[in-house]
A and B are shown apart, each in its own frame.
Chain A
Amino acid sequence: MDTVLYDVKGAKRFFQRGPSTIEAVGGVDLQIGAGEFVALEGPSGSGKTTLLQLLGALDRPSAGSVFFEGRDLGALGDGELAELRLNAFGFVFQQFNLIPTLTALQNVEAGLAPTGVDSNELRTRSLALLDEVGLADRSSHLPSHLSGGEQQRVAIARALVVGPRVILADEPTGNLDTETGADVIDLLSGLATSHDATVIVATHDADLAARAPRRLAMRDGRLVGSAADGTLVAVVRTGP
């Protein structure tokens, strides 16, 4: 691990659902280095998405802390978190989450526009990213006119357009068939390498996870095993 990007210490996240408290993430300790490609495995409901949101500054931990590049995300204000999300993180969602009224190009631009670059640069950089994901000729299409794989590629372009340090992908192949999913993951890992981005992919697909150099397994909000070589080793923890 060259540089420690993330240092997660006892991070917990609870949700209040009526009278009961649900522990989505129940004390996670984790370090991720810059340039890693990490798969976060686990069945749905295991807390993958919540952990990803904590890592992506979309949410603050209820207890414990998440340090990113040495900064405690839980202690930062809304503006600083927004700034981090804009410049440091790129998100890829299972549902693609493209803005339905915007074209492919505009969707990519939406990820860069808040940086305040002038419209020429905005267009040029966005088109370049679209080209990288192989959709330069579909730039004026609305999401509804794109296939699932194409939509996810637009989302990847959007996530990468600002040049983020981390790509956080939540079930990026969940809505795609196996072949397309594999293509998308290949694209993601290839682009991450060329853009020097760390990738953290949450998935319940073991085949997909197997492609990652480092695999983390989650069960009931806790990390139950990890393998740096792609082989998952169960780690049984005792007690809270």
Chain B
Amino acid sequence: MFYLGYLKSELVRRKSRTILTVLGLAVGVSLVIAVSALSRGLDEAQAKALDPLSSIGTDLTVTLEPQSQDVAQSGGGGFGGGGREVIQANQSVITDLSKLGKPGEQFVHDFFLPGTQLTFPQSTAAQIAKVPGVESVSSGLVLAAVHQAGTVPKIVAKIKAGGQQIQVDRQIQRPSAAEFAKMQACLAKAGITVGGAQGGAPPDAAGGGQGGLGGGQAGGGDRSAFGKCLPARLQRFRATITTPEQTLQQVVNPPQTNIKSSSYTIAGVDLKTPGIGVVTSALVSSGRFINASEGGGAHEALLSASYASRQSLKVGSKLDLNGTVFTVVGLVRPPLGGQTADVYVGLAQLQALASQKSTVNVLLVRAADGSSVGEVQKQIETLYPRAQVASAKQVADSISGSLVDAASLSKRLGTALAVLAAVAAFLLAVLLTLSSVGKRVRELGTLKALGWTQWQVVRQVMGESLTQGVLGGLLGVVLGVVVATAIGAFGPTLTASSSTGGGEGFFGLGAVTARSVTDQVALTAPIAVGVLIAGFLLAVVGGLLAGAAGAFRASRLRPADALRQVE
């Protein structure tokens, strides 16, 4: 076919122009594909990270957190003061080294603290389950844990003190005449007569006293009566002074120790509610879920995959929690912003470990249907004014990090960038075609002189542009796939963080008990077939538009004018 041969000759023999046009379109198309893929990747990463509740089968989380105004008023609030509650709840943070064992022994100790997410009775779950519109409620206990391991230090020195008798030997001033007379009167009252001494000088205190006593005895008087009648000043010396016996424990400050502390978060999973809970079997990435039938998941633990990799733990590893050994049975990828933890054990297990019998600090509520979530949230808030009821969106809003920044950037710029790339590719194609048509005016005029109809000329020019569009589209699709794959292979890792608990102002406890979870999300750029087709069509349409523009210009020229054009 002559026209196809002509088309091929035009494209092949004007190589640089063809390559430029095809490349322009290809770059535009690949940009569109890469940007959409990137933006899709971000959306997916975001959906994964920023839709924390749905993957745990939950619409709402209910927690009890001290309100900040309570802290500001320092206990003056109507609820008894959140700050004080926080301190009370976290009292056991002080390590009593003396209870760990004998000095020199190795010890492992874990503290479990609710942080600022206060605990409440587990029975609340049953009450909330009765709220209309609630389908199911699961409870959980999420605690900040501090793990300490080391050698018990020598922390006390025992000192025995007391038990000594103290002898007092001291010259005491004799009783005065008045004191003596008073004593005599006192004794007389008791029926004891002190004779002979009436007119003489009072006897020396000790000697006189003794003598008096002897006299008293001889006279059949009461010994205690004598003591009673001694002037108060002299009576003290009558007692035997014995210091109290006691053992003093002197704390060695600072104790010599090699204790290593590390903190992590631990959550108790309600195993009675599969499909909803702080972690669910759907989130297990390797291994298996805690076996609920074995007495409530006895001594089985799940680890978050990121924690496991940080700590070099894997399925089958053993965890020693205050002497109870848990076997890691699975790794999970918990969603961000939810009630996430590094370690998951059965709820009953954690309650026992942390001495938090029948208490929980989070309830996960699933509404019967999506539309009733808001209503349920309102009702729970009315029922429990102090409860913090968070919806998925509110939880998602608390997540921060580069993923969120990138996602919002992509939301704002992604579409604009794709449109810009498409427009630039279009413009390039149109301009190149127009300029090429401009250079070919004489040629197209000659074709008209040869008897080519307007349509035949237009068809030829459009055919060339369309072919360039198809080539550009194909190349663009290939380039786009390569770029998207490269992003997936070498792309940056984005982080998303969420913090629960903590906050400022809790007398410094906030910082200690805040639980922060950071998830690393590798950026991928998954390509949708639709985007590839759209990108390809974009180039084809671009080629057609460019061809139409060029052909329109060419067809408007009358053959005589076209021939008049000087080369």
Q: Which residues of A contact B (CB under 8 A)?
A: 50, 53, 56, 58-59, 78-79, 82-87, 89, 91, 93, 95, 97, 99-103, 106, 109-111, 113-115, 119, 122, 142, 158, 162
Are B5 and A85 in contact (CB-based, < 8 A)? no
**Which residues in chain B, 435-472, are within 8 Å of chain A measured between CB atoms?**
442-443, 446-454, 456
Are A106 and B2 in contact (CB-based, < 8 A)? yes
Are B450 and A85 in contact (CB-based, < 8 A)? yes
In Å, the complex CA distance between A235 and B302 comes to 114
In the complex, which residues of chain B have a beta carbon less than 8 angstroms from the beta carbon of A110?
A: 2, 6, 447, 450
Nearest A residue (CB) for B454: A78
Given A95-B567, A97-B446, A101-B9, residue A114 in contact with residue B451 (CB < 8 A): yes
In Å, the complex CA distance between A141 and B196 comes to 169
Q: B44 contacts the other chain (Cβ, under 8 Å)? A: no
Nearest B residue (CB) for A112: B2
Are A53 and B560 in contact (CB-based, < 8 A)? yes
A120 to B: closest C-beta gap in Å: 12
Are A102 and B1 in contact (CB-based, < 8 A)? no
Are A114 and B563 in contact (CB-based, < 8 A)? no
In the complex, which residues of chain A have a beta carbon less than 8 angstroms from the beta carbon of B442?
A: 95, 97
Are A87 and B567 in contact (CB-based, < 8 A)? no
Q: B237 contacts the other chain (Cβ, under 8 Å)? A: no
Q: Mark B219-263, 1 if CB is under 8 A from A, else 0.
A: 000000000000000000000000000000000000000000000
In Å, the complex CA distance between A43 and B180 comes to 170
Q: Mark B539-562, 1 if CB is under 8 A from A, else 0.
A: 000000000000000000011100
B388 to A: closest C-beta gap in Å: 75
Nearest B residue (CB) for A82: B453
A194 to B: closest C-beta gap in Å: 21
In the complex, which residues of chain B have a beta carbon less than 8 angstroms from the beta carbon of A101?
A: 6, 9-10, 12-14
A-B contact pairs, 18 of them (CB 8 A): A53-B559, A53-B560, A53-B563, A56-B449, A58-B558, A59-B559, A78-B453, A84-B451, A91-B446, A91-B449, A93-B446, A99-B446, A100-B13, A100-B443, A101-B14, A109-B2, A113-B3, A142-B13
In Å, the complex CA distance between A79 and B451 comes to 9
**Which residues in chain B, 1-47, are within 8 Å of chain A measured between CB atoms?**
1-3, 5-6, 9-10, 12-14
In Å, the complex CA distance between A125 and B492 comes to 65
A88 to B: closest C-beta gap in Å: 9
In the complex, which residues of chain A have a beta carbon less than 8 angstroms from the beta carbon of B558?
A: 58-59
Q: Which of B448, B450, B560 has the most CB of A within 10 A?
A: B450
Nearest B residue (CB) for A122: B2
Partner of B450, one of A59, A78, A111, A142: A111
In the complex, which residues of chain B have a beta carbon less than 8 angstroms from the beta carbon of A102?
A: 6, 9
A208 to B: closest C-beta gap in Å: 21
In the complex, which residues of chain B have a beta carbon less than 8 angstroms from the beta carbon of A56?
A: 449
In Å, the complex CA distance between A210 and B2 comes to 40
In the complex, which residues of chain A have a beta carbon less than 8 angstroms from the beta carbon of B13?
A: 100-101, 142
Given A58-B449, A101-B9, A110-B6, residue A119 in contact with residue B1 (CB < 8 A): yes
In the complex, which residues of chain B have a beta carbon less than 8 angstroms from the beta carbon of A78?
A: 453-454
Given A58-B560, A110-B2, A113-B3, residue A99 in contact with residue B451 (CB < 8 A): no
Are B449 and A85 in contact (CB-based, < 8 A)? yes
Are B453 and A114 in contact (CB-based, < 8 A)? yes
Nearest B residue (CB) for A97: B446
A61 to B: closest C-beta gap in Å: 11
A83 to B: closest C-beta gap in Å: 7
In Å, the complex CA distance between A91 and B454 comes to 18
In Å, the complex CA distance between A86 and B563 comes to 16
B209 to A: closest C-beta gap in Å: 146
Nearest A residue (CB) for B14: A101
In Å, the complex CA distance between A59 and B557 comes to 11
In Å, the complex CA distance between A82 and B451 comes to 5
In Å, the complex CA distance between A100 and B440 comes to 10
In Å, the complex CA distance between A99 and B457 comes to 13
A174 to B: closest C-beta gap in Å: 14
Nearest B residue (CB) for A79: B453
In Å, the complex CA distance between A56 and B448 comes to 11
Q: Mark B282-313, 1 if CB is under 8 A from A, else 0.
A: 00000000000000000000000000000000
In Å, the complex CA distance between A158 and B2 comes to 14
- Contacts A85-B450, A91-B446, A100-B13 known; 5 new A-B pairs at CB < 8 A: A53-B559, A85-B448, A101-B10, A101-B14, A113-B3
In Å, the complex CA distance between A179 and B459 comes to 41
A73 to B: closest C-beta gap in Å: 12
In Å, the complex CA distance between A87 and B452 comes to 11
Q: Which of B1, B5, B12, B446 has the most CB of A within 10 A?
A: B446
Given A95-B567, A97-B446, A106-B5, residue A114 in contact with residue B454 (CB < 8 A): no
Partner of B2, one of A79, A119, A142: A119
Are A86 and B446 in contact (CB-based, < 8 A)? no
Given A58-B559, A100-B443, residue A114 in contact with residue B567 (CB < 8 A): no
In Å, the complex CA distance between A172 and B1 comes to 30
Are B446 and A82 in contact (CB-based, < 8 A)? no
Nearest A residue (CB) for B559: A58
B468 to A: closest C-beta gap in Å: 15
B223 to A: closest C-beta gap in Å: 145
In the complex, which residues of chain B have a beta carbon less than 8 angstroms from the beta carbon of A142?
A: 13
Are A158 and B14 in contact (CB-based, < 8 A)? no
In the complex, which residues of chain A have a beta carbon less than 8 angstroms from the beta carbon of B449?
A: 56, 58, 85, 91, 97
Nearest first, the 5 closest Cβ-Cβ pairs linking A and B are A86-B451, A59-B560, A101-B13, A113-B2, A85-B451
B113 to A: closest C-beta gap in Å: 82
In the complex, which residues of chain B have a beta carbon less than 8 angstroms from the beta carbon of A119?
A: 1-2
In the complex, which residues of chain B have a beta carbon less than 8 angstroms from the beta carbon of A89?
A: 451
Q: Mark B198-221, 1 if CB is under 8 A from A, else 0.
A: 000000000000000000000000
In Å, the complex CA distance between A91 and B175 comes to 162
Partner of B451, one of A97, A122, A162: A162
B490 to A: closest C-beta gap in Å: 42
In Å, the complex CA distance between A138 and B89 comes to 100
In Å, the complex CA distance between A144 and B275 comes to 78
In the complex, which residues of chain A have a beta carbon less than 8 angstroms from the beta carbon of B450?
A: 85-86, 91, 110-111, 114, 158
A115 to B: closest C-beta gap in Å: 8
In the complex, which residues of chain B have a beta carbon less than 8 angstroms from the beta carbon of A93?
A: 446, 563
Nearest A residue (CB) for B451: A86
In Å, the complex CA distance between A53 and B448 comes to 12
In Å, the complex CA distance between A85 and B457 comes to 14
Nearest A residue (CB) for B558: A59
In Å, the complex CA distance between A110 and B13 comes to 17
In the complex, which residues of chain B have a beta carbon less than 8 angstroms from the beta carbon of A82?
A: 448, 451-454
B502 to A: closest C-beta gap in Å: 74
In Å, the complex CA distance between A132 and B451 comes to 22
Nearest B residue (CB) for A96: B446
Nearest A residue (CB) for B7: A101
Given A101-B13, A106-B9, A122-B2, residue A83 in contact with residue B446 (CB < 8 A): no
In the complex, which residues of chain A have a beta carbon less than 8 angstroms from the beta carbon of B446?
A: 91, 93, 97, 99
Nearest A residue (CB) for B567: A95
Nearest B residue (CB) for A56: B449
In the complex, which residues of chain A have a beta carbon less than 8 angstroms from the beta carbon of B9?
A: 101-103, 106
